Structure 1
């Protein structure tokens, strides 16, 4: 006799009677000692008896259990084992849960990390966490569609961060390539989105173009009441025109005041991680003009006992924070559209080329640019050092003359 719902509701485990109530067609409700009531289907396939789990009562009511039975029996009639099919579906769900976009991207980052610098790894991690994970991070990577990923990129486009959107799309493309190579994705939906974003608008770092503005900035450094280490870091940024991160992280052990040299180790230079770690990569030597040595001597009583030249105290374990120099210039009245700390590199390069007429190779060497022959550029120690010693003093003197003058500083001829 087919079951009725009342029987199902009142069915309880017993040690004296059968704990199985049969509905027909192999379907039965089994009462367990724990109090749970489970739907099961008993069937034979290929001469073997099998039991298929169909869920728990009352979560799965009688009517649904019958539908599940009928669906399973259709498979059995075709020679398909519903138990094996159920197990495969469960395994697929487990695999999907282990291969969400977020988990897959984390495995990809772990694989790539040895070839990345720590700074680059942090940027990739932060961008994915901020712009991708909140929307598709929890989704199985194989299930994410092209329109879904496009909507992620479109959010960044709408915010005006086009460059970031392009970078994130590139990360996603690499993540999908990794997923395909490991067998957890079959299609690279990020590749489908090439050309889906507006072109990037490239712009150079803002820099001063009028000598009068540079003179005003130099004078502002003399009168500003800001923190000493910040003002000196700003003045050395103008005078030495090295990368802002290198200036901020300058260490006392890198500086030889007697020889007037600052030696930047490969680990602190803008290089690929492999180049940073190679014992063949030479450090970048920066000649210190007389004025730079004097500025550093001012800091000796304040920070020389610590690691960093621009550390907060003698015992400071951290360098000057990112953005400090730019903030100082904003305080002095120089907006971000006028000048950035990185813009001093372009400013010095232009003035040394056009006004002071120094040879381009000497300037490029001082900028630590690799040029067309990248390998030679990386491994050529102290390139043009003698010329650069002279050039850096000429540049520092030029800045002093410009600051003291009421008109344009007189161009100084340079011999190469």
Structure 2
């Protein structure tokens, strides 16, 4: 007699396990502990076997019968339903291991370990908040361009256009990593070319005239903040490296014999040299005198919260605001634009020397990237001239008489 929900519910618990049969091999096993489990009995290749469908009432009688019918359909095709179930489970586990999320996290651990903490946090946030909710559980080889676009559209919907483009770049790096490790065949991100909204071009605010540069240097000279932040402001102007590179400088990055700083450029990941002017050396000596017992592997610009971490990325921005410069006037990154403009348009230095000192990817006539020591003698003279020029502009600003003439032509 076929089973009913009522008969299963009312089945009494006995001292031993026993079965209640339905039809076509389906039965429910009543356990002595009170649990009720659906099974199907069948024969395959002359052997009697059984297939589990799960516990009642999580699995309803109707669902158990549907699973039984599916299993019988497999038997008619000569497929063992138990082996088929194991294969599906194994495939699911493999897909889980090869999901976009699992591979993205593996990529993050492998490829982002050498990045700054701030950059790592931004990448992880993009993955967790923007990409994982939509495509995280999908096997990476099954993620299509429309699926990725749907995830990025949600980012666009909150008017974060630039973030959507960055998310696309991050996703593309994950796909390329999966290709390199043999778990994906292609990167769908390039298929989205032109599909995302175009972000408005935004440039870092910067002072680019001699008069305003002089006033800025005078304001820095009169800044009453902490010695570390004041030194960072001075060296931001003298070094014009990327703000993240400046904050993460360590005393061990200084080559005292060659009088220069040697680091790895934050964006290009290439070796970069910053020749030290006399003014820069003075700032560093004064800063070192404040902390005579610090080690070579410690940060030049430590955090106010402890020397184990570097200065906050907001420290210079807050200092500039304290001095009266808002984000629409001058930023920490703006020191680079200031140097780029004045070295070119006022001091007349060769553009390739300036670009090399900015740690941009400069190439020669044959398309080869210049090595890190290219034009180092010329750049050393340029950096000293730049420091002297800033001193002249500051002196004239303090005297109330800034002249915009060419302060010496580059050779």
Structure 2 SS opposite 1:167: helix
Tell me the equivalent position of 2:208.
Answer: 209
| Residues 192-201 or 141-150, more deviating | 141-150
Task: Encode CA deviations 1:29-73: one digit per residue, 9 max, x unaligned.
Answer: 223344322222222233332212233233334444344333433
Tell me the equivalent position of 1:408.
Answer: 403
Tell me the equivalent position of 1:344.
Answer: 335
Structure 2 SS opposite 1:265: strand
Task: Encode CA deviations 1:333-364: one digit per residue, 9 max, x unaligned.
Answer: 21212222222222223222222333445444
TM-score calculated relative to the size of structure 1: 0.81
Alignment RMSD: 3.5
Map residues 277-356 of structure 1 onto 2, 5 A cutoff. 284-289=273-278, 291-306=279-294, 307-311=298-302, 316-356=307-347
Task: Encode CA deviations 1:290-310: one digit per residue, 9 max, x unaligned.
Answer: x44444444344234323333
Alignment match of 1:378 (pick from 372, 379, 385) = 372
Q: Which has the higher contact order (CA 8 A, sep 6+)?
A: 2
Alignment match of 1:396 (pick from 390, 393, 397) = 390
User: Given the superposition, is the C-alpha separation of residues 37 and 208 from structure 1 closer, same or farther in structure 2, using an over 3 Å criterion?
Assistant: same
Q: Distance in 1 between matches of 2:62 and 2:253?
A: 79
Tell me if structure 2 keeps the 8 A contact 1:169–1:190.
yes
Structure 2 SS opposite 1:209: coil
Displacement of 1:197 after TM fit? Answer: 0.6
Displacement of 1:286 after TM fit? Answer: 1.5
Tell me the equivalent position of 1:79.
Answer: 78
User: Given the superposition, is the C-alpha separation of residues 100 and 251 from structure 1 closer, same or farther in structure 2, using an over 3 Å criterion?
Assistant: closer
Tell me if structure 1 keeps the 8 A contact 2:261–2:276.
no
User: Given the superposition, is the C-alpha separation of residues 118 and 357 from structure 1 closer, same or farther in structure 2, using an over 3 Å criterion?
Assistant: closer
Map residues 1-12 of structure 1 onto 2, 5 A cutoff. 1-8=1-8, 9-12=10-13
Q: Distance in 2 between matches of 1:188 and 1:181?
A: 11
Task: Encode CA deviations 1:307-334: one digit per residue, 9 max, x unaligned.
Answer: 3333357982333221211221122221
The runs of 5 or more residues in structure 1 that have no matched partner are: 277-282
1:367 lines up with 2:384 in the alignment: no
Structure 2 SS opposite 1:334: coil
Tell me the equivalent position of 1:279.
Answer: none
Tell me the equivalent position of 1:198.
Answer: 197
Tell me if structure 2 keeps the 8 A contact 1:127–1:168.
yes
Tell me if structure 1 keeps the 8 A contact 2:30–2:36.
yes
Displacement of 1:147 after TM fit? Answer: 4.6
User: Given the superposition, is the C-alpha separation of residues 42 and 305 from structure 1 closer, same or farther in structure 2, using an over 3 Å criterion?
Assistant: same
User: Given the superposition, is the C-alpha separation of residues 158 and 2 from structure 1 closer, same or farther in structure 2, using an over 3 Å criterion?
Assistant: closer
Tell me the equivalent position of 1:59.
Answer: 58
User: Given the superposition, is the C-alpha separation of residues 88 and 182 from structure 1 closer, same or farther in structure 2, using an over 3 Å criterion?
Assistant: farther
Tell me the equivalent position of 1:358.
Answer: 349
Tell me the equivalent position of 1:235.
Answer: 234
The runs of 5 or more residues in structure 2 that have no matched partner are: none
1:266 lines up with 2:263 in the alignment: yes
Displacement of 1:256 after TM fit? Answer: 7.6
| Residues 326-335 or 230-239, more deviating | 230-239
Aligned length: 402
